Chain A
Amino acid sequence: MTATALSRGAGNPRSPGERFGKHVLFTCAALSALLGAAVIVVVALETVRFFGRVSPARFFGGLTWAPLAEEPGFGVLPLIAGTAQIAAGATFLALPVGLLTAVFLRYYAGGRTASVLNAVVTLLACIPAVVYGYFALNYVTPAIRSVWPGVEGFNGISACLVVGLMILPTIVLLSREALGAVPNSLLEEGVALGATRRRVLVRLVVPAAAVGIAGSVVMAAARAVGETMIVTLAAGNPTGPTWNPLEGVRTLTTFLAQASLGDIPTGSIEYGACFAVAAVLFLLTCGMHAAGRALMARGQRGTLGAVRL
């Protein structure tokens, strides 16, 4: 701040520049809040309208999902089961690789290795889902089928593998953050007591970061729940409910992607069904994100209570 600025009274809270800044920023915040509220309100309104025609009991209790059939079924449970199947499989595959990569990145990798690995993880995080989906359908699935001919062209295994790859960066980056909250002295003291580095990491450091790591896993699983393009391309959308991962899987997101929404007339029952499914997806991912954030925050405060030698 210069003397001229002072003499012009630029620092005066009532000066035009001062008020301009504040008003512009306030307008930005108001518009952002409005946009966010519009998204929530439109999904909520259409869902409520849908529940006026299909009772929530039928929606949450029914066991068939067939909005277009002659005797339409609006039970969302099969879709949730499919989503859980893909998300659990992907997280199960991504957790060991992601956690070990995070440990390697924090405790073993030297300067150059670490920066290369960091760049690789960041690049994996940047690749669009539809590119992953293309990869899953046209390369991963044929590779699986060449070893295991019983697998169908659209299958849950390929989707799980590639969704797992997509959520890998989330686990690596957030787990590393969780590991960062563990004080370095813990490792040093353990090694000073004569334990090997590896033993200290496995028995002390990782358990000490367990809460934060759990948070990273929940966040990654939330991303898997919302993943649309990979699952739609790789796992297709069979009409019946399936429980077999060798066949196609039907999830909340694949239903939305394949409903070819652009052609559905506004106000039809299928249009409402799409919004109800979107609302379920919304609440599910919001809840998982909130839980993940809470766990990560608790991990940052440090929980050495979990450690046992």
Chain B
Amino acid sequence: MGVAAALVTMSALILLTGVLLVEAREVLDWRFFLDPPSRVAAEGGVGPAVAGSLWLTFLVAAIAVPLGVGTAVYLAEYAPPTRLVKAVESVLTNLAGVPSVVYGIAGLALFVRGLGLGPSILAGALTLTALTVPLVVVNCRKALQAVPDEFRWAAFGLGASRWQVVRDQVLPAAAPALLAGCCAALLRAVGAAAPLLMLGAVSFTTFAPGSPNDPLTALPTQIFAWAARPREGFLALAAGASVALLLLMAAMHLVLFAHRRRQKGTWS
């Protein structure tokens, strides 16, 4: 029984990736990754969407990761156990479970209309930041809590200050888990389609976004636009865009874990 269930799980993944690759094989070439979408299915590409997703990844990583890690460190190592701090903790924990589409609608009111950014890359990045920060905080708090207290006591006992304990003992010990936690949160942000759709992302643009103020376009919304078209040629494009998105996520994973082998230290 257990073997059968495991096989179902495995075959689902194989089927999914197999279907994507077979369907996308006609469109996958260098031109596809660089060209803009076209009314003629055979000429379409994901150039602007790839550029948009790269912008979003870069901006979210630059804003949400430091913010989230800093918050987690403050909450885990510094914060006094006051009622306010506990409230902040519980709000962030709860926000981590809220569906992404809710962030989309909040982002529309806050950033697209409130700050008057319009449906731009920047508005998309800020919305995805709001979605990512709680996830980073929750994941990183777990990573910091997994560091044994003996590490802290030993360092305090040697006369280290709190900042020295955090910088020299806790952060290095938790680094692999922190990295994994940030990576998981970022991957979720890069794959999110619903919030960008709510902001009014465009799926038909002829030029790649060159600055954060350019119109919002990204791979997930591009996949959505093509997948919802029943006509034959666009299915291959949707599959190709899906492959592009999965490649981007794999690349992020590789970049983040390039140093993993060196960091493989454990404590018992």
Residue of B with least CB distance to A38: B110
**Is B9 an interface position by the 8 A CB rule?**
yes
**Is A79 an interface position by the 8 A CB rule?**
no
**Is B212 an interface position by the 8 A CB rule?**
no
Taking a contact as CB atoms under 8 Å apart, the answer to whether A25 and B161 are in contact is no
Do most interface residues of chain B lie in helix, strand or loop, or is the interface mixed?
A: helix
Interface residues of A in 162-196 (CB under 8 A from B): 165, 168, 172
A1→B99 CA distance, assembly (Å): 45
Residue of B with least CB distance to A119: B13
The CB with the most chain A CB atoms within 10 A, among B3, B9, B75, is that of B9
Do most interface residues of chain A lie in helix, strand or loop, or is the interface mixed?
A: helix
A127→B77 CA distance, assembly (Å): 34
Q: Which residues of A contact B199 (CB under 8 A)?
A: 261-262
Taking a contact as CB atoms under 8 Å apart, the answer to whether A39 and B130 are in contact is yes
Within 8 Å by CB of A21, from B1, B88, B99, B163, lies B163
Q: Which residues of B contact A21 (CB under 8 A)?
A: 163, 166-167
Of A7-15, A60-68, A301-309, which stretch is located at the interface? A7-15
A137→B242 CA distance, assembly (Å): 14
A190→B20 CA distance, assembly (Å): 46
The CB with the most chain A CB atoms within 10 A, among B129, B134, B200, B227, is that of B227
Within 8 Å by CB of B238, from A28, A127, A134, A222, lies A134
**Is B10 an interface position by the 8 A CB rule?**
yes
**Is A72 an interface position by the 8 A CB rule?**
no
A137→B162 CA distance, assembly (Å): 54
**Is A108 an interface position by the 8 A CB rule?**
yes
User: What is the minimal beta-carbon distance from B220 to any residue of chain A, in angstroms?
Assistant: 5
Within 8 Å by CB of A285, from B19, B69, B98, B194, lies B98
Taking a contact as CB atoms under 8 Å apart, the answer to whether A11 and B4 are in contact is no
User: What is the minimal beta-carbon distance from B245 to any residue of chain A, in angstroms?
Assistant: 6
Within 8 Å by CB of B133, from A35, A121, A278, A288, lies A35
Taking a contact as CB atoms under 8 Å apart, the answer to whether A256 and B223 are in contact is no
A286→B97 CA distance, assembly (Å): 7
**Is A290 an interface position by the 8 A CB rule?**
yes
A100-B1, A226-B100 known; A266-B113 Cβ under 8 A: yes
A1→B242 CA distance, assembly (Å): 49
Taking a contact as CB atoms under 8 Å apart, the answer to whether B71 and A117 are in contact is no
A76→B20 CA distance, assembly (Å): 37
Interface size class of A (residues with CB under 8 A): 35 or more
The CB with the most chain A CB atoms within 10 A, among B99, B103, B223, B227, is that of B99
A135→B168 CA distance, assembly (Å): 47
Within 8 Å by CB of B163, from A18, A36, A123, A130, lies A18
Within 8 Å by CB of A126, from B103, B242, B249, lies B249
Taking a contact as CB atoms under 8 Å apart, the answer to whether B102 and A281 are in contact is yes
A-B pairs with lowest CB-CB distance, top 3: A226-B99, A262-B200, A28-B70
26 A-B interface contacts by CB (under 8 A): A11-B159, A28-B70, A31-B71, A32-B71, A35-B129, A42-B114, A43-B105, A43-B106, A97-B5, A100-B1, A105-B6, A109-B6, A120-B13, A128-B249, A130-B223, A131-B16, A134-B223, A134-B239, A165-B12, A253-B99, A256-B101, A256-B198, A262-B200, A282-B102, A285-B99, A293-B93
* Residues of A participating in the B interface, judged by any CB pair closer than 8 Å: 1, 5-6, 10-13, 15, 17-18, 21-22, 24-29, 31-33, 35-40, 42-43, 46, 96-101, 103-105, 107-109, 113, 116-117, 120-121, 123-124, 126-135, 137-139, 165, 168, 172, 219, 222, 225-229, 233, 253, 256-257, 261-263, 266, 274-275, 278, 281-282, 285-286, 288-290, 293
